[in-house]
Chain A
């Protein structure tokens, strides 16, 4: 049971971070389908940092460096979306999809090149970081507390405060609802949209890092992040683009994702004799069903996905 809570919390943390990322980007008016790719790149940055940090490094420094690396790479990669969508008015869905394809390809090519340069026989796309990963975890009895859970919670509170209580957040949301109106009162829509995309890059990158450290100590980059970026988008829609609701939605989805990892520990579930594949499918099925119920009265930012053209004011 403790294990289930632990996994639920850690997977929810991933979903919270990434969904908040999507939330910032969409509130500024840019649809970020590329979150999946951003997660992969963020994970790559974190994994490489962990790989090259010496094992004895102070835990606090490890956390700071690894988190910063993944956030930074996520932000850099999100600029691919930002520049294309904001400066060049490109189709945001197409660009996001391209990013989702690009990220795993980049990661695999890079990781393989690194692995091969270390030993010619190692053609895998796996990075191992078992020892250094311990820096993120504190044990309370049997419960493994990960600092990422705290980080996700702080991000949630932070997002709420920023979006609803600061001038920046309210302006950001104005750009997603009615950019022309925002512009007419002197808000720089382009800058705000870049800010939204960059924040989503940072949160998405961090989410990717949390995902690859959840329960495993190595990651095969050929697998990408298995649709988690899209699950996060479903969480965001379920949470109606509001941070608190996103947090609750993430807990629900995290629970179903965790079940597929730990269901063998519950006699009742094992007795049902459902193949493990079905548990793997659960989060996706649930999210489809949830989407059916909540998409009808969607509160999506009104101007999302539409490139802002100053001339159309």
Chain B
């Protein structure tokens, strides 16, 4: 009887669905590897799953675990951005563009204006929030589909940021100057976290920020009046308006918060000095799009997003360890894309599961009678 209670639980069903998506995604990835070259497929899929465990020594593994955590924390922010908008009935595919302008703002304030890290971080959040707000305002006042406006803004952001960051480009490479050589004050503080990860200086307070914000977002959505209003607007705009909620304001606010989250992710990524911006990029960074994967895999739940973001980053990073003479690292992109695709079926899976349970119950009742 008790077991049935768990199966009926919506949260449990979501987790079950997500795990199934992962499993199926990995199986499909494995099949693709088999088709390309059967010889190393098993090893390759293990390499993807192992990621940093690839290194036999504990200190080395810990160090790369730290790097994965840093990337995962940025991904977590992007996925929070997507899921926050999703809860309000908006599809924020613009997380990618908001991440881009966030990066641009953070790096520009750090490299050109020599600001300390918190100013850069705030700048990233504000600029990205404005970009998100534009999509929101277009939706609220002009009924422009947010998916399409976000995509347009993604490309506009990419080209603009390339143009702006060219002014802080290092000579002779297409990359921006490194933070550690130009402005050490813009690097996020480590707060001793680096010691935990074999002196990996990339692990900063940003990782903790990300987790705290995930919890705050959960509180905001589930426990506050504002969260309730936003969700109500998402479910039925007209009804929300009828109840005296400012539905236009709510839509814009949602997109601004979503944008700010993605911008924050960009800040805690680039302000660790983990990477420099390549000013000739011709495609929008994948971080924002992977955020979509992470948020749906996490069942559109902020706490679930913590785990799913880590998982997506884990396999994306793991992709770089596959045997390059046989496969390419994009195999993990393929796996995460398959996983998002399968996430579309989770709702159907839940319905099916409930119907099966109903049938079983009916049978049982029939037996008793």
Interface residues of A (CB under 8 A from B): 33, 80, 84, 88-91, 93-95, 97-99, 101-102, 104-106, 108-109, 112-113, 116, 120, 123, 125, 222-224, 226-227, 230, 233-234, 237, 275, 277-278, 280-281, 284-285, 287-288, 291-293, 295-296, 298
Contacts and interface: CB of A to CB of B under 8 A. Distances in A.
B155 A291 contact: no
Contacts of A237: 145, 148
Nearest to B334: A105
A284 B154 CA distance: 9
Contact of A109 (B144, B159, B328): B328
Greatest chain B CB density within 10 A among A80, A84, A95, A230 is at: A230
B72 to A, nearest CB: 18
Contact of B152 (A223, A224, A234): A234
Contacts of A95: 341, 344
Interface of B: 32, 36-37, 91, 93, 138, 142-145, 147-149, 151-156, 159-160, 162-163, 282-283, 289, 292-293, 296, 324-328, 330-331, 333-334, 336-338, 340-341, 343-345, 347-348
A288 B149 CA distance: 6
Contacts of A108: 328, 330, 333
A277 B162 contact: yes
A312 B126 CA distance: 45
B152 A97 contact: no
B152 A287 contact: yes
A282 B356 CA distance: 53
Contact of B340 (A94, A223, A288, A292): A94
A204 B32 CA distance: 25
B159 A93 contact: no
B341 A296 contact: no
A293 B306 CA distance: 40
B44 to A, nearest CB: 12
B282 to A, nearest CB: 6
Contacts of A123: 324, 328
Contacts of B345: 84, 88, 90
B333 A105 contact: yes
A120 B327 CA distance: 11
16 contacts: A90-B344, A95-B344, A97-B91, A98-B341, A101-B336, A102-B341, A105-B330, A108-B328, A112-B330, A123-B328, A277-B160, A278-B159, A285-B152, A291-B142, A291-B152, A293-B142
Contacts of B327: 109, 113
Nearest to B340: A98
A307 B90 CA distance: 18
B155 A227 contact: yes
A302 B287 CA distance: 34
A285 B156 contact: yes
B293 A101 contact: yes
Q: What are the nearest 7 A-B pairs in CB distance? A: A90-B344, A98-B341, A102-B337, A105-B334, A101-B337, A98-B340, A105-B333
A42 B19 CA distance: 32
B330 A94 contact: no
B341 A224 contact: no
Given A101-B333, A109-B330, A292-B144, A281 B341 contact: no
Majority DSSP secondary structure for residues of B touching A: helix
A280 B161 CA distance: 13
B54 to A, nearest CB: 20
A292 B341 contact: no
A256 to B, nearest CB: 12
Contacts of A288: 138, 144, 149, 152-153, 156
Contact of B334 (A102, A234, A281): A102
Nearest to A233: B148
A298 B32 CA distance: 42
B344 A98 contact: yes
A267 B283 CA distance: 30
Nearest to B286: A101
A284 B289 CA distance: 19
A89 B327 CA distance: 35
Contact of A90 (B36, B162, B348): B348
A139 B42 CA distance: 52
A57 to B, nearest CB: 28
A224 B289 CA distance: 14
Nearest to B325: A120
B147 A33 contact: yes
Contacts of A80: 341
Contacts of A104: 333
Given A109-B328, A109-B331, A112-B328, A295 B293 contact: no
B20 to A, nearest CB: 14
A292 B138 contact: yes
A99 B289 CA distance: 12
Given A227-B155, A296-B142, 5 more contacts: A95-B344, A109-B330, A230-B152, A288-B144, A292-B142
A291 B154 contact: no
B7 to A, nearest CB: 21
Nearest to A227: B155
Nearest to A34: B341
Contacts of B93: 97
Given A281-B156, A281-B159, A94 B296 contact: yes
A260 B147 CA distance: 24
A35 to B, nearest CB: 11
B142 A97 contact: no
Nearest to B351: A89
A277 B341 contact: no
Given A227-B154, A288-B152, A222 B344 contact: no
Nearest to A111: B328
Contacts of A93: 91, 147
Contacts of A120: 325
A41 to B, nearest CB: 12
A89 B340 contact: no
Greatest chain B CB density within 10 A among A97, A281, A298 is at: A97
A182 B262 CA distance: 43
